[in-house]
Structure formats: C-alpha cells, structure tokens
A and B are shown apart, each in its own frame.
Chain A
Amino acid sequence: MSQVNNFVIKLANVNGTGSASANGLVMKAIFRMGVPVVGKNIFPSNIQGLPTWFEIRVSREGYLARSGEVDVMVAMNGQTFDRDLKEVSPGGVLLYDSTWPRERNITRHDITVLGIPLARMCNETFENPRARILMKNMAYVGALAALLNLDMDVLRGLIEEQFASKKKLIGANIQAIELGYHYAVENFKCPLASNIEPMDKTAGHIMIDGNTAAALGCVYAGATVGAWYPITPSTSMMDAFRSFSEKTRIDKKSGEKNFCIIQAEDELSAIGMVIGANWAGARSFTPTSGPGVSLMSEFLGFAYYAEIPLVLFNIQRAGPSTGMPTRTQQSDLLLCAYASHGDTRHVLLIPDDPRECFDMAVQAFDLSDRLQTPIMVLSDLDIGMNDWMVPELEWDDNYRPDRGKVLTDEDLAKVEKFYRYVDSDGDGITYRTYPGGDPKGAYFVRGSSHNKLGAYTESSAEYKDVLDRLLVKWETAKKLVPGPVIRTAEMPSRTAIVTMGSGAAACREASHKLAAKGIHLDYMRVRAFPFGEEVEKFLEEHDHIIVVEQNRDAQLRTLLMTETRVPKDKLHSILHYDGQPLDYRSVVAGVEEFLSKGEVA
C-alpha cells in the first residue's frame, strides 16, 4: 500500500527540552493539510531528563488507533537511540542529530538513516543556550517539513498563532525551521515515500484531548463547583475547567465568578466537597485517577446509600498502587463498579473518545440528578491526555438540565408531609429537596441505617426495605444509561468482539482488517454499567465473544460474567496491559490466535 498519507512518525526526545510543542506542530500541520492524524504521547513520570516519545499516525482512512509500526523515527535521545533504531519498521527511515556521529551504533541496513547536524547548526546560529536546545526541535520540524512535504505556509501560520503573545519569538522559530528545511532539501532526496498530500478529510473536525472535552461538558452541563486533588492524568481536566470558566462564567460588570474551584487537601476531602455541593443543589464534580478513587471509597458508599448525586471522572492510569502514572490502562473497572464496603454498586459511563467525553459529561450530570447516585465516567490517559481527531462538538440550545425528582417550595405546599425515601412512583427513585427551602422539606441525611421516612432504624424489615428499593432503582438505571454501540459484520457471524472505551478504535480497525481477510466479526462497545437488555441480547446471539480490554485481570469479562446471563465459557479475552495505548495489530493477532485454536466453526 502506498505510504502517502499513510504512515507513522515516532519522535524520541528527552523530556523537559521543549519537544512537545515542536511535535504538536508537526501533527497540527498535517491536520490542517486535511489529512487525518492522531498523536500518542508516551511520557515519563518526571519533569526533566527522562525519555519521552511522541507517535504520530497519519491515516488517510481516518483510523485513530496505534498501528504498532514506525515508518519514520526521529531519534533525538542518545539514551534510547539503540532501542529506537531497533523499532523502525523494515524499509523505514531514521533521522538523527549527526553532530555526534553514531556510525558505530547504526547496525541496520534495511532502513534509511539520515543524519543532520542539528546541534551544530543551532549552536552556530543562536546565542542563548536555552534557545539552542529549543531551536534544535524546530530545526528537525523543518527537516521533516522537507522530507514529508509539509506545507511551509501552514507551519508558518501555526508558529504565528502559537507565539501570538510573544511575537519576538516568531522570527527565531521560523529561522530554525528554515535551517532544517534547507539542510534536508540540499542533502537528502525529498520527499520520502512516506509523505503528505493535501486532502479534505479533516473539515468539520477538531483535535482535542478528552480531559479538555470533558471539562467543556461540565461547563455546558452547568456544573459550578469543582473540587479536586491533583493527580496525573486527570489534572488537565480541572485546568481546562478553570480556563473555560474564566472565559465564559465571569460576570463582565462585577467580575464575580459563577463557579467555585476548590483544590482540596486530598481526595477524601475532594469527594466530600462534591457531595456537600450536590446535596445543596449545585452540580459538582471531581476529576481523579485510581489512587484517588481508592481514597474516595468510603464517601462513595455514603453517597450511594444516602442517595446524593455526584459526578466523578476517573482518568485511569496503569496500576496497581502508584503504578505507572503516565501510562494508560482500563484497570479500575471493578474498583469503580463496586467502590466502597457493603452492598454498593455504581453507575459507570465509558466514553471512547474526547467527543464522547463531552457528551457523556453532560449525560453524567443528568443521570446523576435523575438517579440520585454517584456517576463515574471512566476515561483513561489515552483518551484524556492525547489529542484525538473528532467531529466538532455540538450543542443543542434547547437542552435543559434534568435535575430529577426535586420538590420545590410550591410542590411542598401541595403535600401534607414530606418523607425523603418513599418510592411513590415505583421506579426506586424518591423525591428530594434542597436545603434553604421550606422547612416542610427538611430531612436528615445519614449513612447509617434509615427507613423510608428518613429516620434512623435498626429494624431489619425497615433496613431491608430501603436496601431492596435501591435495587429497584438499579433496574431503572439499566433503562436510562446509554446502550452499547453495535455493528454487525457484512457476513452473518456468531463470533463477536466486545470492548469498551479507548480500546474501540483499535477494535474497529482490526475488524476491518480481519474482514478483508475474510474473517467477519460482529462488534459491540459497551458504554455503561449496569448493562441493559441490548447487551444481554447481543451476548445471547453470539457463541464466541472475544472481550478486548486493557487490564491484566479481564475485568470487563468478569463484570459481564457476574452481571449478565452470559455463560462463562462463551467469553474469551484479549488483554493488553503494558501501559501503551492499544494498537490494532495486537487485536488482529489475538483474534487470529483464538481462531487458530479451531474452536470456532
């Protein structure tokens, strides 16, 4: 297959050297040239000095997963040179800084090696030592521009936007780009086989990360109180919420803020604040990651039992314990489904890309108010922190928040007496009131056993009555949460792939590639827990179900096994848990291996 608009560039850098913005520039330029692109940042849990990689996949077909190949490697990190060299796919290209010759290290003859004396060129051109480091990045951007056929006007435009507030820097950056560009044009055969031809496939799309999109969703849903304790990879979500709130929620005349962001002293406190705010009638949320959820567990059970809405975003990272804080995983599924002691269960929403993060953020607040229970949105580092190409976010101005069953003072005037936990509609959801309202609606929230009137009880029957009613509510939740996304294969199939969240892109691509080889699989992406009837039906209709997920212990498979009627032996696993975003090749290989065992007719 032609490599035009269809290849992977991987950039190996040292973190803290300013490479991120240079690499982003390359990706953005390709995007602006109308060619679908996606970037994966593989970075260390460190501020300066450790290896970091950025992988840009260019895909004219619009595939968003990693491919597992490297067509062009930009090897800027001496520490990792040898392994970066090894990773280049046969026939690929390696670009490196030849200021320090590495002839001895270069042992491969099946790839093209291009050396540019980047450091020397920059040292000769720029005075300031920091500028010399930063400009080296811009110089390889210039070389890539020549090698990949990037539009120089697009690059210039991007530089001008990036430095709009620091105009002085524009000249030097463009100078550095041109240094690299001219060197490449004069010394190499440009462009490479892997190069860019303008297309028009990115119109109507944006490049955005999931944390930014989720934060925007919170603003649009009308969330006003955000409480958090910083933790990678969720931190950028609150940064984004602050920035959007400052742009859109500060009264121009008075300067008053229609939002309140509280950096809590820890996650125990963050979740307590969110509970307090939601109880008092504001929409409130907390972004966190695995270790934070562990700390929040006691309060999550409290909110479940006392029936207080709240929205929690878990941007998952690789565990257990501190694990790999800057690597991605889907290993908190079971933790979140049952977080806290006692018979506790939680509603989960599982977005598969930043656009769905936006939509589901809004949905999470509505569901949480409707069901009066915590809603956890399970994103992950791959979705949360990487830029994905997604269709523009849309907003319906007719949207009105669903605040669920809340009695106003007028409603209270019509009833003789108010009791908090009486299920008068039979859906397991009872009526609540906000503090500050008519005293008739006053009630006492407690995490200790209570009867349906809201009073403390140790009567077994009264206690069970409430506990059982919560199960009725759970059944209602099944009908309200978003159903799965199902795609049936071109040929009838009794074998299916089931996945969730960020695994979807790789699974979709793998299905296409397998179909081309004559292997047809149905596909289901679950989007929520509890699982509804549609999920049950899909599982029923297939004999072999391959569950693709990013954790060691097959947590989605476990949850399907315990929470649906599916027989255990129908479910098989493809597990990916090395911390890197899932690539489609692993899925193809996993399916082929499964099929080769001959279990499927």
Chain B
Amino acid sequence: MSFVTKPRIIHKSLKRNALGLTVRDYEGVATTLCAGCGHDSITAAIVQAFWELDMPAQQVAKMSGIGCSSKTTGYFLSAAHGVNSVHGRMPSVTTGANAARRDLTYIGISGDGDSMSIGLGQFAHVIRRNLDMLYMVENNGVYGLTKGQFSAAADLGSQTKKGEANQQPPIDPVKTGLAMGASFVARAFSGDKEQLVPLIKAGLSHKGFAMLDVISPCVTFNDHETSTKSYAHTREYYHPAIHTDFIPPSEEIVAQYDDGEAMDVKLHDGSHVILRKVDKDYDPTDRGRAFNYLMDAQDRGEVVTGLLYIDQKQGDMHQRSGTASKPLGRMEHEELCPGSEVLKDLQKAYR
C-alpha cells in the first residue's frame, strides 16, 4: 500500500499532558456545525477532559447515532476509532463493541431526538445492561439536522420560532435514566465548561453506564425568546444542585470540606469525585429522593445540574454475565475452537 502524508503543525507554546500531548492532539476535523451551536462547546469540553485524563487515543472508541450532535464524534480525537451508526441505534453498536472489547473506553454521543424519540428503546435497554460507557445526550429540544421539529425532550409549552407551542410533556433524559436504573446520572449545560469537564471525566471513569444530559442550545432553530432550551432561558433557570470535582488517581485530595457539605466518592479506577451539595437535603445516592427532587424542580421550571445520582455497586454487563477478562475480540483461534476430538465426542448425543 502507498498512502500520502500531510505535514502536521506542532504548537510549541501549548501545555503538554503526561503523555506529552497537547490539547490540539485531542481534536478532530473542523466542525461543520452552525457558529454558536452548543454542541461545539461540548466538543471542546470533551477534548479538554480527555487531555486532562491523559487518555491515549487508542484506548477510546467514539460512538454516535445520527443528528447534528452525533456528527460531533468526528470533531474530537481524530486518532481514535469511531462509528457514526444509524439514527437512534448507537447503544446497540456500542453494546456489541463492548462485548468484543471490554478493555476500551466508550464515549457515546447522541441527541435528544436520537435518544428520546427514535432511540428510546435502545436508550432504556443499554441502561438496563449497565454497559460500561459514557453516554452523552446533547439536548437542544429539537431535531437540529432536520430543521427544527420538536423532539420528545422538548418542554411542554415551549414554542417554535413561528410561535407553535409544544403540546406533549417531555421525556426527560435524566428522569428516564434514573427510572431505568442508570448507575450514574448527571446533567450539565454546554455554556458551563467548568462544570462540564469534571462531569465528563467522572463519567468516563465510572465503571458502568454514565448518563450525562447536556443542555445544548440550537442557535438556528431553538434559541429564541419563547424556547425553554435557549441560552438565555437555561442561564436563568440553571440550578446546580451539586458541584462535582474530579480528582484523578495520581492526585491527592487537598481541599477540606465540612461534614455533610461534601461527599467523597472513590471510583473503581482509583479516581475520586468530590460532590459538594448546594441543597442540604439532596442525596446523590438515594434514587427515590433524587427523583422527587427533580420532579419538584421541574415544577419550578428549574434546570437542575450536577452529578445527580451515583451507584457503584451495580456490576456492568460483563461482570453480570461472567465474560472472560481477556477481551473476546483478542482471543486466538486456539482459545476458541474445541477441535476435532471434542466434535466427535459432542456428536455421540446425535446417534
């Protein structure tokens, strides 16, 4: 084979992580989304998170469905493999990939249409399997790519640019995630990178299914005054219930917290998330209370954010089914084929 190479410009001034890589090394091809699209800010946060985690690109698999949001897996980590699958079906492809390569880190990018409309079934079932992955819903309340129809996550009464009001109550990714039994449920806002980056890092480090809903305004079809998913509306009703700090395994915990104010959760890979509660009566380990809190907040029109629920005790798909620790996709023929003698033996039952 012969292939042509393209020279690459290296910026000497940029900071390097433990792998000697700069943030630029975690980027992908140039975005083709509308200027100001929330999804692009999320991409930037993802790039930052991977860089801060010192993640080698070959460790990562990027998965997505179809939509403006799903396109963004092309815009980060060019050096990682990725599958841009079909509309609403990213969870199944990721499940299969994970079945074959349990040693990789999976990041799935979806939209609110991709997950809550066409893909609701696969969304529910991937949660049920507690697949080890970070699943991000880039939630703008509309179908961006097909030009602005309401998605199933659109809020009741939210209006289109032309003034049509949404008649149906929303299917909220966070409440759905909680109800389906997700082991990690979080919400963030594309406009708050400070909060988003640690949540992405925590989600990637969590062993099991991490659901991260990110309110991500669509500037072209859903950023007007009568929309509930606009930048302005989200900023106004944004309510961080929990601040999340992410501390990698290599770092020590230095800050001091008063009792009851913060919770230190150690993840399976040795990293820590420090959860600082804004609301005293919030308990991110109590699924029922988290759910009630969200219901009340929704009535007040608040957009509650933070790492809202975490449960580290659920085993992931492989732990539950007892799959070999060596990835199945890396097994040699000799480990898998029982051979001619066994075949003779097995056939005795058919005589």
- By a beta-carbon cutoff of 8 Å, the part of chain A in contact with chain B is 31-32, 206-208, 212, 216, 219-222, 224-225, 227, 244, 247-249, 251, 255-262, 264-266, 268-282, 284, 298-299, 302, 306, 392-397, 399-401, 415-419, 422, 424, 431, 433-439, 441-448, 455-456
By a CB distance below 8 angstroms, the chain B residues around A275 are 85, 92-93, 96
Q: Which listed segment binds A: B136-144, B249-257, B325-333? A: B325-333
Q: Give residues of chain B (49-69) contacting chain A, Cβ–Cβ below 8 Å.
A: 56-59, 61-62
Identity of the chain A residue whose Cβ is nearest the Cβ of B102 in the assembled complex: A260
Q: A262-B95, A274-B96 are in contact. Are A257 and B324 (CB under 8 A)?
A: yes
* Selected contact of B79 from candidates A225, A274, A277, A442, CB within 8 Å: A442
Q: Could you name 5 residue pairs across A and B whose Cβ atoms are closer than 8 Å?
A: A276-B97, A277-B97, A280-B96, A437-B58, A442-B79
A-binding segment of B168-176, B191-199, B286-294, B341-349: B341-349
- With A220-B343, A419-B3 in contact, is A272–B93 under 8 Å at CB? yes
Given contacts A416-B3, A417-B3, contact A280 B338 (CB under 8 A): no
**Number of inter-chain CB pairs below 8 Å:** 253
A455 to B318, CA, bound (A): 34
A178: min CB distance to chain B, Å: 25
Chain B: CB-nearest residue to A438: B58
What separation, in Å, do the CA atoms of A455 and B83 have in the docked complex?
13
**Contact at B340–A394, with CB atoms within 8 Å?**
yes
Most buried by A among B73, B78, B98, B338: B338
B100 sits at the interface (CB 8 A):
yes
Which residues of B have CB within 8 Å of A415? 1-3
Nearest chain B CB to A424 CB, angstrom units: 5
- Which A residues are in CB contact (< 8 Å) with B4? 416-417
Q: Contacts A224-B100, A417-B4; is A393 near B89 (CB within 8 Å)?
A: no
**In the bound complex, do residue A280 and residue B323 qualify as a contact, i.e. CB atoms below 8 Å apart?**
no
A435 and B101 contacting across the interface, CB-CB below 8 Å:
yes
Identity of the chain B residue whose Cβ is nearest the Cβ of A306 in the assembled complex: B83
Flag if B58 contacts A220 (CB, 8 Å). no
- In the complex, the answer to whether A277 meets B100 with C-beta atoms within 8 Å is yes
Q: Taking the complex as formed, is B20 at the interface, i.e. its CB lies under 8 A from any CB of chain A?
A: no
- Asked if B351 lies at the interface with its beta carbon under 8 angstroms from chain A, I say yes
Given contacts A262-B99, A269-B121, contact A279 B93 (CB under 8 A): yes
Are B58 and A439 neighbours in the complex by a CB distance under 8 Å? yes
Minimum CB–CB distance for B183 against chain A, Å: 18
How big is chain B's contact interface, by range?
A: 35 or more
Chain B residues with CB under 8 Å of A396's CB are 340
A247-B104 Cα distance, complex, nearest whole Å: 28
Tell whether B260 is near chain A: CB-to-CB under 8 Å.
no
Query: B73 — nearest CB in chain A belongs to which residue?
Result: A444
Question: CB within 8 Å of A: which of B88-138?
Answer: 89, 91-101, 103-104, 121-122, 124-125, 129
- List the 8 closest pairs (A to B, CB-CB), nearest first: A276-B96, A272-B92, A282-B100, A273-B96, A281-B329, A435-B81, A439-B79, A280-B100
Q: Is the CB of A435 within 8 A of B333?
A: no
Q: With an 8 A cutoff between CB atoms, is B306 at the interface? A: no
In the bound complex, do residue B343 and residue A273 qualify as a contact, i.e. CB atoms below 8 Å apart? no
What distance in Å separates the Cβ of B78 from its nearest Cβ neighbour in chain A? 7
In the complex, the answer to whether A224 meets B333 with C-beta atoms within 8 Å is: no
Given contacts A32-B351, A442-B79, contact A397 B339 (CB under 8 A): yes
Residue B82 CB within 8 A of the other chain: yes
B38 at the interface (CB under 8 A from A): no
A219: which B residues are within 8 A, CB to CB? 336-338
Distance in Å: Cβ of B232 to nearest Cβ of chain A: 33
Indicate which residue in A208, A251, A277, A424 contacts B96 across the interface (CB closer than 8 Å).
A277
Q: Which of B57, B97, B325, B344 has the most CB of A within 10 A?
A: B97
- Write out the residue numbers on chain B whose beta carbons fall within 8 Å of the beta carbon of A399: 337
Interface centre among B93, B96, B318, B321 (most CB of A within 10 A): B96
Report which of B29, B94, B96 forms a contact with A225, defined as CB distance below 8 A: B96
Contact A276 B337 (CB under 8 A): no
Tell me if B80 counts as interface (CB < 8 A to partner A): yes
Q: Which residues of A contact B5 (CB under 8 A)?
A: 416-417
User: At the interface, yes or no: B322 with Cβ under 8 Å from chain A?
Assistant: yes
B240 at the A interface (CB under 8 A):
no
Does B335 count as interface, using CB distance less than 8 angstroms?
A: yes
Residues of B within 8 A of A258 (CB): 324, 328, 331, 335-336
Q: Let me know if B205 is at the binding interface, CB within 8 A.
A: no
Specify the chain B residue showing the minimal Cβ separation from A282: B100
Q: Which residues of B contact A244 (CB under 8 A)?
A: 346
